[in-house]
Amino acid sequence: MATKASRSAARVMMAPAVILLLGWMLVPLTMTLWFSFRKYLPLRGGDLGGAGFDNYLRFVSSSAFWPSVITTLLIVGSVLVITVCLGILLAMLLDQPMWGQGVVRILVIAPFFVMPTVSALVWKNIFMDPNNGLFAHLWRFFGADPVSWMSAASMPSIILIVSWQWLPFATLILLTAIQSLDGEQLEAAEMDGAPHLKRFWYIVLPHLSRAITIVILIQTIFLLSIFAEIFVTTGGAFGTKTLTYLIFQRVLESQNVGLGSAGGVYAIILANIVAIFLMRIVGKNLDA
């Protein structure tokens, strides 16, 4: 159906988006790559010449590197486990017949729409403040000593906040997937006397597997670059310095651009490994 004229018209129409994204990808990326091989200290003389792979080696051998990798993996891993497991349970519950389903859906989804700086600050102060927070009141009510969450339990606190933000996303996508499940298949299994757990394990879970994979991949990409939640709560202190935050500090706080850029290249490689898997699934879906 496409004529030659419409083909060239199509190319012209696509051009602005393609050129802009190409520029957006290539220009800063090339600069980051360039800086990563330079000794570049904007406040202490600027570009001080080539550095070979020094920045890459120094970034990895700095004492902050491995802790930041572990922190990143811990946050991403815990949030994934929490949101996917609770998300499946919640999606199955929301799929059941009930009164006021629409309203409950709205209540559950709401946290996703709260801007990250707001949710982090509200949790940090109004809930987790060791003197005046709601948790402190609750702890005192039960005769326990209030916990200073952001210093003594910094990681669980951040994981809780981030999980709260992302549980709605997981639930919503898994619920969409569950609703496309063939009810007759389940009923047939029920009539054949398959117990709940078996029905879940052999019918529901396999049906959800693709949606679960997608939730995991998309969340991983977003969670790897969590920033605001740490910026406004601990500022990277108390063992909550993620890889993203470490790079941010190298670049903007200590103004060591070469070193930070090398870190940035590591982060880009890490994100790309996850992205390849996601693209495969999305690409397959395009053919269908």
Partner 1 sequence: MARSVTPQRKALNTAAAWAIGLLIFFPILWTIITSFKTEAQAISDPPVFLFFDWTLENYGAVMERSNYGRFLWNSIIIAGGSTLLGVIIAVPAAWSMAFVPSNRTKDILLWMLSTKMLPAVGVLYPMYLIFIKFGLLDSRTGLVIVLMLINLPIIVWMLYTYFREIPGEILEAARMDGATLKSEIIYILTPMAIPGIASTMLLNFILAWNEAFWTLNLTAAKAAPLTAFIASYSSPEGLFYAKLSAASTIAIAPILILGWFSQKQLVRGLTFGAVK
Q: What would the x/- binding string for partner 1 be over residues 13 to 32, using CB under 8 A?
A: xx-xxx-xx--xx-xxx-xx
- Comparing CB distances to partner 1, the nearer of 78 and 170 is 170
Considering only 49, 183, 193, 206, the residue that binds partner 1 (CB under 8 A) is 183
Q: How far apart are CA 55 and CA 266, in angstroms?
A: 11
Q: Rounded to the nearest 5 degrees, what angle is found at the Cα of 250, between the Cα atoms of 245 and 252?
A: 90
Query: For the chain, give me the number of helices (H) and strands (E)?
Result: 14, 2
Tokens of 229: 């939640």
Site for partner 1 in 82-101 (CB under 8 A): 90, 93-101
Residue located via tokens 């402190």: 136
Q: How far apart are CA 161 and CA 119, in angstroms?
A: 7
Q: How far apart are CA 119 and CA 225, in angstroms?
A: 17
CB of 106 to partner 1, least distance (A): 5
Interface region with partner 1, contact rule CB under 8 A, candidates 45-53, 71-79, 166-174, 192-200: 166-174
Considering only 80, 84, 91, 108, the residue that binds partner 1 (CB under 8 A) is 108
Find how far residue 287's CA is from the centre of its chain: 27
Site for partner 1 in 200-229 (CB under 8 A): 210-211, 214, 218, 221, 224-225, 227-228
144 binds partner 1 (CB under 8 A): no
Site for partner 1 in 66-85 (CB under 8 A): none
Q: Are 22 and 31 in contact (CB under 8 A)?
A: no
How does DSSP classify residue 112? G
The residue count for binding partner 1 (CB under 8 A) is 114
Interface region with partner 1, contact rule CB under 8 A, candidates 60-68, 76-84, 128-136, 191-199: 128-136
Site for partner 1 in 252-281 (CB under 8 A): 252, 257, 260-261, 264-265, 267-268, 270-272, 274-275, 278-279, 281
Tokens of 239: 């063992």
- Comparing CB distances to partner 1, the nearer of 240 and 260 is 260
CB of 159 to partner 1, least distance (A): 15
φ and ψ at residue 195, rounded to 5 degrees? -70, 165
First and final C-alpha spacing in the chain: 21
191 binds partner 1 (CB under 8 A): no
